[in-house]
Structure 1
């Protein structure tokens, strides 16, 4: 049997994000998946407490972080990847920041929307994974799996009998992610989940977020993983027997009534840069752009 990783699941409650430190028990090599940089929208202020917690964990366990992985360009939190890379480089090894190859199209789309110069995001990621690309974490073998639907660039990472699936699938009582972002596609999400459901039943699926449906007997605590068998039996949106037509119809209707994520504009501008800060103005400010919704009477 292939070796299994050590998985540290770290929940960030303000954005309901699961971050993961995944390590090879034989060598101490590790990766960090979907890290969070703290952001206070009331003050437009960044802080690093959550990311520092990941660094403390890595230091305590004596891990060597070889890569910092993103499942996609997140629209609900700011990535700490660049900050982590800089801090870890200071301790002797600079890990690569990695994401799927389709990030290039996402960068171009949102770079144009927010007026970001290409020099600020071209080459921001150190490595762009091909579909099904295999890579090592110490003595462990990992594989990048394209799981589009929520976003076109979305990847999952298969490490041993574990898939770190980002926002392609949530816990069974939460269901599935929205598909109404640019180039999102409910048909593709259905196919991506079908790909996950084809894995062995005991495969663990580690999700990117959790929103526990407390009340009415619901659980109060966030849950990091379920199994393929759990998902096939009980996922509220996509259990076995759900047709593509039914899912796409329901998901499309549901998404039409959703508001935009609270940190949508800040997150996208930050994350297509792989966590780099915006270039400073002549006055020393670092700016993010927010679109105005203007009534016709003012035009």
Structure 2
């Protein structure tokens, strides 16, 4: 049996959010939900997350897990907000992520002066590599997909893998690997792992950045076969050495994401806002 997959695009950060449901039990998970952040006003709103809640209500789903593929650096997660809104009779859906999250929390808690206790227990479920879990009666698997970040997990549900920021649609290519703990060699091996899936399986991406003509509409997924044939960075026949050389050179010229400091501070807390209501933004001083 295959899941029902609802694809919901958030255009400000070009993020794909997913509601994935078991049709027989109407049990669902939400993957990589987004809070709306306005940097000009330094304000957070919940329009995108509320749209996910409306979809869940309309379809009659019961959400038992909120799944994060990794600690995002380009948007704020809505996991904590959704967890509170979806609580029923004292029970809340679990927020899940890969077991290496502790390494990421420790690194960025030090960077931003966040007390360790604000990170401890932020996530309810830490998945082991290849751990099996269930969405209703559907079997699912947590798959380690490092490269973009070391904690990165994908979620295989039926013939669909939700791969987060690992490889993107074939005309976009691959994710950057220059964040702390990122590694281009690891990302090449992640692509190799994804390409061992059956050719008809679908790879759902974490983002899409349509490259104008001939495609201007965001696309959520493509098949393994399509990726192997057309991915402009990682298609079959690409050598690891060539990919690593190109990716490293490319990443060296990229600017940091606009919301990186706000996102990391909120996301290592699984979407919980700071106790003092303050987010710290480092300042670079040059020529003084």
Gaps of 5+ in 1: 281-285
1:252 aligns with: 248
CA distance in 2 between counterparts of 1:91 and 1:256 reads 50
Of 74, 77, 80, the match for 2:75: 77
Of 271, 275, 280, the match for 2:271: 275
CA distance in 1 between counterparts of 2:154 and 2:233 reads 20
What SS does the aligned partner of 2:76 have?
A: coil
What SS does the aligned partner of 1:198 have?
A: coil
- Quick one: structure 1 residues 71 and 139, their matched pair in 2 at CA, closer, same or farther if it must change by over 3 Å? same
How far off is 1:296 after superposition? 4.8
How far off is 1:218 after superposition? 2.6
Matches for 1:238-249 after TM superposition, within 5 Å: 238-249=234-245
Conservation of the 8 A alpha-carbon contact between 1:24 and 1:137: yes
2:51 aligns with: 53
Pairwise CA RMSD: 0.8
CA distance in 1 between counterparts of 2:55 and 2:189 reads 36
Matches for 1:1-299 after TM superposition, within 5 Å: 3-90=1-88, 93-214=91-212, 217-280=213-276, 286-297=277-288
Residues 155-176 of structure 1 deviation map (CA, whole Å, 9 limit, x = unaligned): 0000000000000110000000
What SS does the aligned partner of 1:111 have?
A: helix
How far off is 1:93 after superposition? 4.0
- Quick one: structure 1 residues 85 and 241, their matched pair in 2 at CA, closer, same or farther if it must change by over 3 Å? same
CA distance in 2 between counterparts of 1:218 and 1:134 reads 39
Conservation of the 8 A alpha-carbon contact between 1:111 and 1:118: yes
Q: List, as ranges, runs of 4+ consecutive aligned residues in structure 1 with deviation greater than 3 Å.
A: 90-93
How far off is 1:90 after superposition? 4.3
How far off is 1:72 after superposition? 0.1
Gaps of 5+ in 2: none
Q: Number of matched residues?
A: 288
TM-score, normalisation: structure 1:
0.95
What SS does the aligned partner of 1:37 have?
A: strand
1:283 aligns with: none
